[in-house]
Amino acid sequence: MVLFVGLGNPGPRYAGNRHNIGFMAVDAIARRHCAGPWRRRFQGETAEGAIGGRRVLFLKPQTYMNESGRSVAEAVRFYKMPLADVVVFYDELDLPPGKLRVKVGGGNAGHNGLRSISAHVGNDYRRVRFGIGHPGAKELVQQYVLSDFAKSERGWVDAICDIVAEHAELLARGEDATFQNRVHLAMEARGFAAPAAKGAKRAGNDGSAP
């Protein structure tokens, strides 16, 4: 079994937030691959499906971002999953909007959801990072990530979620590099090539957002 975890905050108040792009991506994958029905389990919402011949458990923690690890840990321990089979989808401030990167382990860049997961299960899970850009100053981060995507951003948000869902079989099979490349090429083909990052790398999420 593979665990696809989308990070976000529960409830309609947060549904369109930049911080919730992990939820959006997992929802898109589950819809495309006819997973379901969703039900309450592991302190989250879960659904099951099959992608590329592998059984996939979709999980959206309902503990709020800061406590995402509690939900993920319950699922991991119940199924005795190796961390190589855990894939976490989340927002990344230090990537330009519309850019996607996949990696295993590494630092948490101040992201509270990752910090919580690493504290509960360890650090060596797979990560799908969705660039949302940076507001320009550390003190603006919380308001930025907890604000909805602007209308002008919805095109690339919908496109990348759709493309990720289309190529999710590669993730399920562990072909992360191929998945990342396919998403990049498909975004370019749709006219959503990410802009180059401007200036020096700025500080990540300061940890204040829930």
* H or E stretch covering 49: strand 44-51
Structure tokens at 129: 């990072």
Catalytic annotation, residues: 19
Backbone angles phi, psi at 66, to 5 degrees: -60, -20
Q: What is the DSSP letter of 148?
A: B
**Measured between alpha carbons, how far is 55 from 154 in angstroms, rounded to an integer?**
31
- CA dist list (Å): 198 to 69, 94, 95, 96, 184: 33, 11, 10, 9, 19
SS3 state of residue 114: helix
- Report the SS3 class of residue 43: coil
In angstroms, rounded to a whole number, what is the distance separating the alpha carbons of residues 25 and 102? 14
